[in-house]
């Protein structure tokens, strides 16, 4: 069992993107060759402490010292044991492995109370569904006609489990009580107000749209008024928050769309559930909707889990487009693959439901199929929202677009958007390019300075320490060993041990790790940390060692690239420094003992000449 877990964990960290995993919990932004964020493990007030490295798959906080790989991150932020962290990370990255089932038993099951609540909500949903087609309430016929007139056929109505809440609101309460539900449980579904008697359905007289959680269990309702004579205020009444229903972690139609999304490779993210239903009516089943306007971290996690391209299609009015801009920025930060449905349209309808009603299936399908990259979309967005007849508007246009230009890695994309921006804004491309470079320069400088200050602070403060040179040389060797298995072999032949106790431990850890893995391509820092974190590894100072490993891995680029010759040079420096330090040590030891001053002086002299001899010898060796 344990063996399996270690192997699965290795596989998971290999596939996991540390930046993606962390983005499930915190806001991460690019910073030079690394990524940074506010540290979630201490009360972090400003950026510049917490770094993530995508290539190495590790994170590290230079303030509180917390560090590790994707699994360590999940383990620390969720406060769960290693085994659960492996499961959770697998879930986050959508990693499927049958062997994982062996470990699932520890997952929390639903409480008896929540199960009762789930059952009660399901009964309510069925009652509403039946009421639409079969109740004696005359208005039910109107409700059905209303839905038909809006273009929903019976199949669609049944697919989305749309229902009708009888005008006599006491009926459903009676029905639920006859099924054995207490008024407490009924009130917890939020369909009745427990402070008002007689108890009755607060949705009475409305059309109901059930909302399900990610597993397809009904957790709440959105109920729409439809009758001309209905004088109640709200167009929709939504279930208020319950222990099962939290708008922030629900995406409408998620449970139906996920399999379809994985099949077709994309999913439409829309603003409301009528938009999702409109998509379904034109044959697009891979569609979901936000339950409020803002996208939450939970939503982001669920979107990622769909493993599909997200096609953002929010309302074409101002709030909808502004929200699309915000969400696209979140997607950029979280490295999510997405497109945006064209915003350069020749009609005034604002959402898919209205477009379908006004123009029919074909038009909606072609609208949804017209997808843009962020850049194309942003150019249109800015052109529409800024007054480009003024200099101010043109300047704002350029300044708002520059961060996007600066983020483009592909030269052709860059060239294309640079020219487009020049055309739209009227500024010469060479001027815009200068502005982009200035923007990039500022970013790089800021990040590099922050990062360098952090990583070098340790070594500069210890300048006067005679062990610095030795430690620095050892550090370089460990650093190479962490990156390169060849360096480990060389270390064993040429050096064999470190003076620094932490490096000594790391070398031991590496040795154990190499014995444990099956092939050399499993040899990398993030997998080494999996081994360190696993129960198999019995090291005592795990946090300290993990911290040191993350440090070394992040600083790796500061050293010259690994080569055998360079490695040998450092080994020589180490041996030389070992001798020097040995001399100093012995000298100090002698001072402590009560030898006479004369004896001490004599001894020191011998030592110094011995030191000089060793240095000369080493120089000779190096010259040969
Ligand atoms: Zn921290």
Higher-pLDDT residue of 364, 408:
364
Ligand 1 centroid – CA 63 distance (Å): 5
Backbone φ and ψ for 125, nearest 5 degrees, come out as: -60, -45
Secondary element (H or E) of residue 35:
strand 34-37
Ligand 1 centroid – CA 446 distance (Å): 20
Length of the chain: 624
What's the pLDDT at 383? 94
Ligand 1 centroid – CA 536 distance (Å): 27
Tokens, residue 543: 């946090």
What's the rounded mean pLDDT across residues 340-367? Answer: 94
Higher-pLDDT residue of 353, 594:
353
Which are the contacts of 164, defined by CB distance < 8 A and separation ≥ 6? 128, 131, 132, 135, 137, 139, 140, 143, 144, 206, 207, 208
Instruction: Please count the CA atoms within 13 angstroms of the CA of 373 that sit on its side-chain side.
Output: 9
Place of tokens 């939504």: 238
Backbone φ and ψ for 362, nearest 5 degrees, come out as: -60, -45
What's the pLDDT at 122? 96
Query: What is the β-pairing status of strands 34-37 and 287-289?
Result: unpaired
CA–CA separation, 535 and 86 (whole Å)? 12
Encode pLDDT of 310-346 as tens digits. Answer: 999 999 998 899 999 999 988 887 778 899 999 999 8
Ligand 1 centroid – CA 459 distance (Å): 20
What's the pLDDT at 105? 53
Ligand 1 centroid – CA 60 distance (Å): 8
In the chain, how many H helices and how many E strands?
26, 14
Ligand 1 centroid – CA 43 distance (Å): 7
What's the pLDDT at 13? 92
What's the rounded mean pLDDT across residues 463-472? Answer: 64
Ligand 1 centroid – CA 161 distance (Å): 48
Ligand 1 centroid – CA 95 distance (Å): 28
What's the pLDDT at 600? 56
Ligand 1 centroid – CA 23 distance (Å): 16
What's the pLDDT at 307? 79
Backbone φ and ψ for 224, nearest 5 degrees, come out as: -105, 140
Share of the chain above pLDDT 90, in %: 46
Which of the residue ranges 87-91, 351-355, 603-607 would you say has the lowest mean pLDDT?
603-607
- Position 62 confidence tier, pLDDT thresholds 50, 70, 90: confident
Ligand 1 centroid – CA 65 distance (Å): 6
Ligand 1 centroid – CA 501 distance (Å): 24
Which of the residue ranges 132-141, 265-274, 292-301, 469-478 would you say has the lowest mean pLDDT?
292-301
CA–CA separation, 552 and 483 (whole Å)? 10
- Position 448 confidence tier, pLDDT thresholds 50, 70, 90: low
- What strands lie across the sheet with 67-69, from one edge to the other? 29-31, 34-37, 50-53, 58-61, 67-69
What's the pLDDT at 464? 41
What's the rounded mean pLDDT across residues 441-460? Answer: 56
3-state secondary structure of 138: coil
Ligand 1 centroid – CA 275 distance (Å): 43
Question: How far, rounded to the nearest angstrom, does the alpha carbon of residue 317 sit from its chain's CA centroid?
Answer: 29
Ligand 1 centroid – CA 72 distance (Å): 14
Asked if residues 356 and 281 have their Cβ atoms less than 8 Å apart, the reply is yes
What's the pLDDT at 528? 92
Encode pLDDT of 104-145 as tens digits. Answer: 654 456 788 989 999 999 999 999 999 999 998 889 999 999
Max distance between CA atoms of the chain, in angstroms, equals 116
Ligand 1 centroid – CA 551 distance (Å): 14
* pLDDT at 299 exceeding the cut of 90: no
Tokens, residue 504: 């000594």
- Position 418 confidence tier, pLDDT thresholds 50, 70, 90: very high
Tokens, residue 532: 């360190």
Which of the residue ranges 11-15, 30-34, 522-526, 607-611 would you say has the lowest mean pLDDT?
607-611
What's the rounded mean pLDDT across residues 336-363? Answer: 94
Ligand 1 centroid – CA 461 distance (Å): 21
- Position 458 confidence tier, pLDDT thresholds 50, 70, 90: very low
What's the rounded mean pLDDT across residues 26-35? Answer: 84
* pLDDT at 309 exceeding the cut of 50: yes
Ligand 1 centroid – CA 82 distance (Å): 20
Ligand 1 centroid – CA 89 distance (Å): 21
Ligand 1 centroid – CA 396 distance (Å): 37
Instruction: Please count the CA atoms within 13 angstroms of the CA of 324 that sit on its side-chain side.
Output: 31
What's the rounded mean pLDDT across residues 237-264? Answer: 89
3-state SS string for 252-295 = ECHHHHHHHHHHHCEEEEECCHHHHHHHHHCCCCCEEECCCCCC
Ligand 1 centroid – CA 391 distance (Å): 45
Higher-pLDDT residue of 467, 426:
426
CA–CA separation, 57 and 348 (whole Å)? 47
Ligand 1 centroid – CA 564 distance (Å): 37
* pLDDT at 446 exceeding the cut of 70: no
- What strands lie across the sheet with 266-270, from one edge to the other? 287-289, 266-270, 309-313, 338-341, 371-372
CA–CA separation, 416 and 412 (whole Å)? 6
CA–CA separation, 607 and 589 (whole Å)? 13
What's the pLDDT at 210? 97
* pLDDT at 444 exceeding the cut of 80: no
Ligand 1 centroid – CA 152 distance (Å): 53
Ligand 1 centroid – CA 556 distance (Å): 21
Question: How far, rounded to the nearest angstrom, does the alpha carbon of residue 30 sit from its chain's CA centroid?
Answer: 13
Place of tokens 């030389």: 576
What's the rounded mean pLDDT across residues 474-502? Answer: 87
Encode pLDDT of 500-526 as tens digits. Answer: 888 888 998 998 888 888 777 788 898
- Classify the phi-psi angles of 259: left when phi > 0, otherwise alpha if psi is within -120 to 50, otherwise beta: alpha
What's the pLDDT at 613? 56
Which of the residue ranges 176-185, 217-226, 579-588, 590-599 would you say has the lowest mean pLDDT?
590-599
What's the pLDDT at 601? 56
Ligand 1 centroid – CA 33 distance (Å): 20
* pLDDT at 185 exceeding the cut of 50: yes
Ligand 1 centroid – CA 355 distance (Å): 50
Ligand 1 centroid – CA 67 distance (Å): 9
Place of tokens 């007289």: 205
- Position 457 confidence tier, pLDDT thresholds 50, 70, 90: very low
Q: Report DSSP state, residue 228.
A: T
Ligand 1 centroid – CA 98 distance (Å): 35
What's the pLDDT at 461? 41
Ligand 1 centroid – CA 548 distance (Å): 15
Ligand 1 centroid – CA 241 distance (Å): 33
Ligand 1 centroid – CA 62 distance (Å): 7
Ligand 1 centroid – CA 20 distance (Å): 19
What's the pLDDT at 124? 97
Instruction: 2-6: list long-range contacts, CB under 8 Å, 24+ apart.
Output: 2/534, 2/535, 2/536, 4/99, 4/102, 5/83, 5/86, 5/103, 5/534, 6/516, 6/530, 6/531, 6/534, 6/536
Closest by CA to 253, choosing from 289, 215, 224, is 289
What's the rounded mean pLDDT across residues 292-321? Answer: 87
Encode pLDDT of 239-251 as tens digits. Answer: 888 888 888 889 9
* pLDDT at 38 exceeding the cut of 80: yes
What's the rounded mean pLDDT across residues 217-222? Answer: 95
What's the pLDDT at 617? 59
Ligand 1 centroid – CA 47 distance (Å): 11
Give the chain's mean pLDDT. 85
Ligand 1 centroid – CA 22 distance (Å): 14
Tokens, residue 367: 């609208």
Tokens, residue 253: 């139609």
Give the other-Cβ count within 10 Å of 453's Cβ.
12
* pLDDT at 102 exceeding the cut of 70: yes
Ligand 1 centroid – CA 39 distance (Å): 5
- Position 577 confidence tier, pLDDT thresholds 50, 70, 90: confident
What's the pLDDT at 2? 47
Secondary element (H or E) of residue 236:
strand 236-238
Query: What is the β-pairing status of strands 236-238 and 58-61?
Result: unpaired
Peptide bond into 283 cis (omega under 30): no
Ligand 1 centroid – CA 21 distance (Å): 17
Share of the chain above pLDDT 70, in %: 87
How far the first Cα of the chain sits from its last, in Å, is 55
Ligand 1 centroid – CA 506 distance (Å): 22
What's the pLDDT at 443? 67
Which are the contacts of 104, defined by CB distance < 8 A and separation ≥ 6? 87
CA–CA separation, 217 and 200 (whole Å)? 23
**Cα-based angle 15, 20, 21 (whole degrees, multiple of 5):** 80
Helices (H), 150-208: 154-159, 170-178, 183-188
Ligand 1 centroid – CA 260 distance (Å): 40
- Position 296 confidence tier, pLDDT thresholds 50, 70, 90: confident
Encode pLDDT of 136-167 as tens digits. Answer: 888 999 999 999 999 999 999 999 999 999 99
What's the pLDDT at 323? 92
Ligand 1 centroid – CA 37 distance (Å): 10
Which are the contacts of 559, defined by CB distance < 8 A and separation ≥ 6? 476, 479, 480
Ligand 1 centroid – CA 42 distance (Å): 5
Asked if residues 51 and 31 have their Cβ atoms less than 8 Å apart, the reply is yes
Distances (CA, A) of 115 to 112, 172, 214: 5, 20, 16
What's the rounded mean pLDDT across residues 41-69? Answer: 88
Place of tokens 């004599």: 602
What's the pLDDT at 155? 96
Ligand 1 centroid – CA 227 distance (Å): 57
């Amino acid at each position: 069992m344990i063996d399996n877990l270690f192997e699965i964990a290795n596989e998971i960290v290999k596939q996991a993107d540390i930046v993606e995993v962390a983005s499930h919990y915190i806001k991460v932004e690019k910073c030079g060759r690394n990524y940074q964020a506010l540290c979630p493990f201490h009360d972090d007030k400003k950026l510049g402490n917490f770094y993530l490295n995508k290539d190495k798959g590790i994170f590290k906080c230079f303030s509180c010292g917390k560090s590790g790989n994707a699994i360590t991150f999940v383990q620390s932020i969720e406060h769960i044991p290693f085994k659960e962290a492996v499961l959770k990370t697998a879930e986050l990255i959508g990693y499927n492995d049958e062997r994982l089932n062996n470990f699932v038993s520890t997952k929390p099951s639903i409480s008896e109370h929540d199960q009762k609540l789930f059952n009660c909500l399901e009964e309510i949903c069925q009652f509403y569904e039946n009421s639409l087609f079969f109740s004696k309430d005359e208005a039910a016929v109107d409700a059905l006609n209303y839905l038909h007139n809006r273009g929903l056929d019976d199949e669609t109505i049944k697919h989305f489990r749309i229902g009708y809440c009888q005008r006599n609101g006491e009926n459903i309460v009676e029905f639920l009580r006859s099924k054995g539900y207490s008024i407490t449980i009924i009130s917890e579904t939020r369909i009745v107000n427990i402070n008002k008697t007689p108890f009755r359905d607060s949705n009475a007289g409305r059309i109901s749209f059930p909302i399900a959680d990610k597993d397809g269990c009904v957790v709440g309702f959105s109920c729409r008024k439809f009758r001309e004579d209905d004088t109640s205020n709200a167009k929709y009444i939504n279930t208020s928050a319950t222990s099962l229903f939290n708008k922030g972690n629900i995406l409408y139609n998620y449970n139906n769309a996920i399999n379809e999304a994985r099949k077709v490779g994309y999913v439409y993210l829309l603003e409301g559930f009528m938009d999702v239903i409109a998509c379904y009516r034109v044959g697009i089943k891979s569609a979901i909707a936000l339950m409020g306007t803002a996208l939450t971290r939970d939503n982001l996690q669920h979107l990622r889990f769909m493993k599909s391209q997200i096609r953002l299609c929010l309302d074409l009015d101002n709030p909808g487009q502004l929200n699309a801009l915000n969400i696209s920025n979140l997607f950029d930060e979280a490295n999510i693959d997405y497109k945006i449905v064209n915003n350069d349209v020749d009609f005034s309808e604002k959402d898919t439901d209205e477009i379908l009603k006004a123009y029919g299936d074909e038009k909606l399908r072609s609208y949804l199929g017209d997808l843009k990259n962020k850049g194309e979309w942003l150019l249109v967005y800015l052109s529409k929202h800024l007054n480009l007849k003024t200099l101010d508007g043109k300047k704002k246009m350029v300044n708002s677009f520059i961060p996007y230009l600066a983020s483009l890695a592909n030269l052709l994309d860059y060239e294309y958007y640079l020219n487009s921006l020049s055309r739209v804004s009227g500024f010469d491309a060479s001027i815009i390019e200068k502005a982009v470079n200035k923007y990039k320069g500022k970013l790089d400088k800021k990040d590099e300075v922050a990062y360098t200050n952090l990583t070098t602070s340790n070594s500069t403060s210890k300048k006067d320490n005679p062990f610095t040179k030795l430690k620095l040389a050892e550090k370089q060797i460990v650093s190479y060993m962490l990156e390169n298995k060849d360096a480990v072999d060389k270390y064993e032949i040429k050096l064999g041990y470190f003076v620094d106790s932490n490096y000594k431990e790391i070398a031991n850890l590496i040795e154990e790790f190499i014995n444990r893995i099956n092939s050399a391509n499993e040899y990398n820092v993030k997998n080494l940390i999996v081994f360190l974190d696993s129960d198999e590894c019995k090291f005592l100072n795990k946090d300290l060692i993990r911290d040191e490993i993350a440090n070394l891995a992040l600083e790796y680029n500061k050293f010259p690239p690994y080569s055998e010759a360079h490695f040998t040079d450092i080994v020589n420096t180490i041996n030389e420094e070992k001798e020097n330090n040995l001399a100093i040590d012995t000298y100090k030891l002698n001072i402590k003992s009560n030898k006479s001053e004369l004896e001490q002086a004599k001894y020191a002299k011998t030592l110094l000449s011995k030191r000089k001899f060793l240095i000369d010898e080493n120089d000779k060796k190096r010259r040969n």
